Structure 1
Amino acid sequence: MSRSLLLLLVLFLSGCAAMAKIEPGEVKLGEAMTATPDSAWNRLAIGTPKNTEVWTSDGLPLDRLVFYVGIADGEPLAPLRERSDRQIPKFRAAMPAHEIVEMYEVFASYDGSTFQRGKLAPAQFASSEGFRFEFARVRKGDELDMRGVAYAAVRGGKLYMLVFEAARTHYYGKHLARAEAVARSVRIGR
């Protein structure tokens, strides 16, 4: 076996090992959140920042369901490399919904991707008064046209948010109902 083929095989197998199957039923997310999917997902098992969990159905480039669990006042959604031309957005407990959406926009476009905000409306999330917003994004790295929807609520001064994003062609429509079912199942509390 050639050295390059062996390297590809090792990389492929290590990538497979980074995913763990999520079966239907209650799943604990961090210290204070649960979700109850009614169908299987795949969980990224390594490499996720503290207070973040990532699920996918068809693979991370095509679809992802990201949970931000208990982001405290003064914390970013996830660590980002400092840039001289852009500040890393940080959550503030007193932020209104539109500022949380703006914070997510800066976070999601930090790599140079384009981002377009869509509808923002009040919505129940995790048995709390929260909000739902829609967005579109073109990823810089591969120019893939993505669509997304997010649900969020602030409880006890902490942000809880679920973001579903998928390729506009096929995958967004294919998984939107499943992602929204997961959003409806989210609970906060020990």
Structure 2
Amino acid sequence: MPRLVILALALLVTACAAYSLAPAGAPQTVQGIVVVPGQSFNRSTAFNRALTLPDRVEIWTTDGEELDRLTFFGGIADGAPLGKLPPDRSDREQPLPVFRAGMAEGDIADLFVANIVRLGRAPAVVIDAIRPATFLGLPGFRFDFSYSGGDEIDRRGSALATVRDGRLWMIVFEGTRLLHHDRLMPEVERIFATARLRDA
């Protein structure tokens, strides 16, 4: 079998292992959060999460995580990080900042920003005004943000969050400013508004 064919098959198997389909209209339970997407998404599998994400975090995307991502934080415990450093990072001995149950809303937004910067996805993130919002049927808050990554592509995003029983629940959307943010934002707003806790 030609080497190029073998390489193509290997890449296909890897892609299939890393993602599964979340079809439009089908209820999905994501780290304890129930959503019904109005369009199809690719959701990271256990295989992918084990390599790149901490416990109780999952990413969905339509065109790839570098272009758009919907990140679910499903009950992050006190003392747990929002991210996970890749195995090949030379600075793994320096831990990521962690969530604390007593954090104020602004501190949680700052924690999210610190996570993006520490993972090397952007040198800085600008947060718009933090405002009250209902999320998962609970009092919560919302913030919008923007940044330019190392690839010099501008991105915009929005986050909805709440703390319940000392755990952080949050959904964050990020997309390229030129295309993905505006195209996907109506669907994201619908997911924000209709998301519920599995045990509610």
Task: Settle same-fold status: TM greater than 0.5.
Answer: yes
Task: State the identity %.
Answer: 34
1:129 aligns with 2:139: yes
Instruction: Describe the superposition over 1:69-102 as per-residue Cα deviations: whole angstroms up to 9, x where unpaired.
Output: 0100111113236838965211011111100000
Per mean C-alpha deviation after superposition, the further-off stretch among 15-24 and 156-165 is: 15-24
1:34 aligns with 2:34: yes
Q: Which consecutive segments of 4 or more residues in structure 1 shift more than 4 A?
A: 84-87
Instruction: Describe the superposition over 1:10-43 as per-residue Cα deviations: whole angstroms up to 9, x where unpaired.
Output: 214421442211122321112x321122222111
Question: Which has the larger strand fraction?
Answer: 1
Whether the 8 Å contact between 2:83 and 2:96 is mirrored in structure 1 is no
Whether the 8 Å contact between 1:37 and 1:185 is mirrored in structure 2 is no
Paired residue secondary structure (1:75):
coil
Whether the 8 Å contact between 1:65 and 1:165 is mirrored in structure 2 is yes
Q: Distance in 2 between matches of 1:87 and 1:55?
A: 25
Report 1:16-95 matches (<5 A): 16-23=16-23, 24-30=25-31, 32-45=32-45, 46-48=47-49, 49=53, 50-80=55-85, 83=91, 88-95=96-103
User: Which stretches in structure 1 are left out of the alignment for 5+ residues?
Assistant: none
How many positions carry a matched residue from both structures?
Answer: 188
Residue of structure 1 in register with 2:196 after alignment: 187
Give TM-score scaled by structure 2 length. 0.85
Instruction: Describe the superposition over 1:134-168 as per-residue Cα deviations: whole angstroms up to 9, x where unpaired.
Output: 1112122x222111101000001100000000111
Q: Structure 1 residues 166, 3: CA separation in 2 closer, same or farther (over 3 Å shift)? A: same
Q: Distance in 1 between matches of 2:26 and 2:194?
A: 10
Give TM-score scaled by structure 1 length. 0.89
Paired residue secondary structure (1:47):
helix
User: Which stretches in structure 2 are left out of the alignment for 5+ residues?
Assistant: none
Q: Please provide the CA RMSD for this pair.
A: 2.1
Whether the 8 Å contact between 1:147 and 1:168 is mirrored in structure 2 is yes
Q: Distance in 1 between matches of 2:157 and 2:119?
A: 17
Partner amino acid, structure 1, of 2:174: E
Q: Distance in 2 between matches of 1:139 and 1:159?
A: 26
Residue of structure 1 in register with 2:169 after alignment: 160
Per mean C-alpha deviation after superposition, the further-off stretch among 180-189 and 9-18 is: 9-18
Whether the 8 Å contact between 1:125 and 1:184 is mirrored in structure 2 is yes
Whether the 8 Å contact between 1:82 and 1:88 is mirrored in structure 2 is no
